Every structure is written in structure tokens, then in C-alpha cells.
Amino acid sequence: MKAERTVLGMKEAISRGRWVWAAPLGYRNSRSHSGPSLIPDPERAPLVTKAFELYASGLSDRSQVLETLTGLGLRSRHGKRLSAQSLHNLLRNVVYVGRIKAARWKTEHAGDFAPLVSESVFLQVQARLSAQGRDKGRVADDPRLPLRRFLRCARCDTPLTGSYSTGRSKKYPYYHCRRGCKGISARANVVEMTFAALLQGLQPRPEYLRLFNAVVLDAWKTERAHAEEMRAAYEQRAEDVRRNLQRVEDAFLIDRSIDERSYWDMRDRLREQLALAEMTATEARNEHLDVEGVLAFAEHVLGNAAALWANASPANRRQLQTALFPKGLSWGPDGFGTAVTSSAFSLFEVSKVGKSRVASPPGFEPGFQP
């Protein structure tokens, strides 16, 4: 009966928006019964918010977010570094948008506490996490069928799959419609040669390259601002450590309030922290300075898409083809259907390849060579 009463009590408290468990990272349990049940942990709450913002920005992947946050001092309640899995769980937790999800009772209630993350940032993070899950599956795909699922059936619009022929002769890979539409099946080498020819046709025009450079410079400025923020945070940290070092020296040399052994211990530890903070601040300062190098590389990528694709690793091939044609391509008896290039590539002159045509999002008119 007591257990039952406890469960009822918990359910009732949750429905009033009260957090009834140990506080999640970034919060502390409130001791008072009036007011919010969770209060932001002044040290960790800003770091949790930062984790969401960094990941939502798309500029850092999960391991980079973890590295950055650990560097900024984020630790678990037991003072340990966060694992990749706990960061993942944190990024999935609706508590940070102020909700209480009780999986046990399949309920979700608005909490009585302040969220640490805005709804829109949270949604961006969820979308990125789901997309990454999908990418993982893709990387494990057969390297001999790089265009699988990137191509769609011209008749029924289903993503094409790949298989190996089971004939008497040597097995060869081919693409075909999962629903078995007629005339769609084709040998992988034929499809890939046609695709390579399409890539060959993507040629940047000089005036558009200048525009492209402007776009990259703009993205670079955003990245710079991020690095600058990091640098400031680590310099601040270095400053704090320096002050602590001074305090330890005073305690030992002037006040004589600590013994020699503690002094050496603390001093070594603090010097180590100082070196780390200074190093990271310097790294952040030097990062992203080679924008000309980056632009030269981008120009190279844009002008040599066909060669790059041909020589890329399977995972990079998929990345490149999706970057060039974000919506994939349709494949039918006449070859590729209308190709929608990415907005970066809509800035490029595209020559006609076979029976394919290239269309651009509204606002860009691609040039056609006769």
C-alpha cells in the first residue's frame, strides 16, 4: 500500500510539473516545496545550453561538441568526463525544453522549471541526430553500388536498390527498382559512366566563382566568430587558473596555511591546467586563418567533380554526390531525368550530357552549352 501511495504521489506531482527524480545534468533539485522543482546549476546550465547550440549550428559533429564542452569544464555529477553516449542522451532529453517525460507511464507534462534550450534549437538538434543515424546506415552500404538509394526510379519514384546478377557468367552489380518497374534495371558500370559524364559537365563560370567565394567568406566569418568565442572562454579560464596559482603561492609562502607537499601538488595541478587552457586558446586563435587555401580547394572541388568522385572512397562518393544533387537523380530508360543541382552548383555552367537536363532552384539560370 505504501508503494502504491508513493507511485500515486509521484504521478500526481509530475502532473503538476514537479521533477521527482535526481536532477538531470545542468539542473539542481530545489529544496523548497514552493517554486520550481529544478533550478539551473549556475556552472553547468550554460554549458548544457552551449552543447545544444553548437550541435544545432551544424558546424560541429557530436565528438567535437563533446571535446569542446569537456574543454570548457563540463563534467558529470560525479566529476567525470561525459561519455559520447551520455552526451547523446542529453541531446535527446526533453527536460531541457522544460518538459517531463515519464516513460513508465507514457506521459509527458510541462515542467514547473525554466528550460535551458529554446524549442527551435532543440528541434534542430533532434533533426540532426536523426539524420546522422541515417547516414550511419549509408556508410555501411556496398562500396560497389555507390548510387544505390541516391537514384530514384523514373517510373515510380522509389529509391533504386542494387543487386548482383546471378547469371552463369561473372557476377556483376546492377541497379534496379525495388518494385520491379520494367526498363529501369541497368548495369552499375553503365549507370556510373553516365553519372561521371554528367559530373564532367559541371563547370564553374569565373563570375560565379567570385560569388561563390563571397558565400564561403560569409560562412568563414561565422566560423571565425565561434573560434573567437572559444578563445575568449579559454583565456578567461587561464586567467582564473593564474589567480588560483597566485592564491596557492600566497597560502604557502605568506600565510603558511598549507604544508609544502600540498603546495607542490596544487601547484603542479594548476600549472597543468594553465598550460592546457593557454594551448587551447592559442589553437582557437590560429584556427581558420587559411581561408584562401580553403577557397582554392573549393574551386578545385567544384571544377573537378568528376575526377574527385571517381577517385573518392565509398563514403566520400556518397557525400559528394549528395552535395552536388541534394535531391538525388531519377534514372529511367533514357538515362537521368531532370537533375536539380545544389544551390552552390546552380551557379555553374552545365553542359548537356546525353538526354539529361539540369534545372536550378528559382533565382538561378544555369547556362547551357550547345
CB of 331 to Zn ion, least distance (A): 10
C-alpha 295/C-alpha 214 separation (Å) is: 10
C-alpha 193/C-alpha 118 separation (Å) is: 47
CB of 155 to Zn ion, least distance (A): 5
The residue (of 9 and 180) whose beta carbon lies closer to Zn ion is 180
The residue (of 56 and 151) whose beta carbon lies closer to Zn ion is 151
CB of 157 to Zn ion, least distance (A): 7
Applying CB under 5 A, does 181 fall inside the site for Zn ion?
yes
CB of 161 to Zn ion, least distance (A): 10
- 33 is written with which cell numbers? 516545496
Secondary structure letter of residue 23 according to DSSP: P
Candidates 14, 45, 177, 284: give the one binding Zn ion (CB under 5 A). 177
Q: Which residues in the chain belong to E strands, given as ranges?
A: 27-29, 38-40, 99-102, 107-110, 151-153, 160-164, 173-177, 186-187, 202-204, 329-332, 335-336, 338-340, 348-351, 357-359, 368-369
Applying CB under 5 A, does 179 fall inside the site for Zn ion?
yes
- Least Cα distance to 228 among 277, 278, 283, 290 occurs for 283
How many other β-carbons are positioned within 10 Å of the β-carbon of residue 100? Answer: 23
User: What is the residue type of 28?
Assistant: R
Applying CB under 5 A, does 159 fall inside the site for Zn ion?
no
The residue (of 90 and 160) whose beta carbon lies closer to Zn ion is 160
The residue (of 158 and 304) whose beta carbon lies closer to Zn ion is 158
Binding mask 124-153 toward Zn ion (x if CB under 5 A, else -) reads: -----------------------------x
CB of 156 to Zn ion, least distance (A): 3
Applying CB under 5 A, does 156 fall inside the site for Zn ion?
yes
- 2 is written with which cell numbers? 505504501
CB of 196 to Zn ion, least distance (A): 24
**Cα dist. 58→55, 127, 128, 158, 216 in Å?**
6, 11, 8, 29, 15
In this structure, are residues 314 and 146 in contact, taking their beta carbons and an 8 Å threshold? yes
C-alpha 331/C-alpha 150 separation (Å) is: 10
Applying CB under 5 A, does 284 fall inside the site for Zn ion?
no
The residue (of 7 and 156) whose beta carbon lies closer to Zn ion is 156
The residue (of 152 and 317) whose beta carbon lies closer to Zn ion is 152
> At a CB cut-off of 8 Å and minimum separation 6, what does 158 contact?
152, 177, 178, 179
Applying CB under 5 A, does 160 fall inside the site for Zn ion?
no
The residue (of 125 and 329) whose beta carbon lies closer to Zn ion is 329
CB of 357 to Zn ion, least distance (A): 20
Candidates 75, 128, 155, 269: give the one binding Zn ion (CB under 5 A). 155
Q: How many positions of this chain bind Zn ion (CB under 5 A)?
A: 7
Task: Using CB under 5 A, list all residues that contact Zn ion.
Answer: 153, 155-156, 158, 177, 179, 181
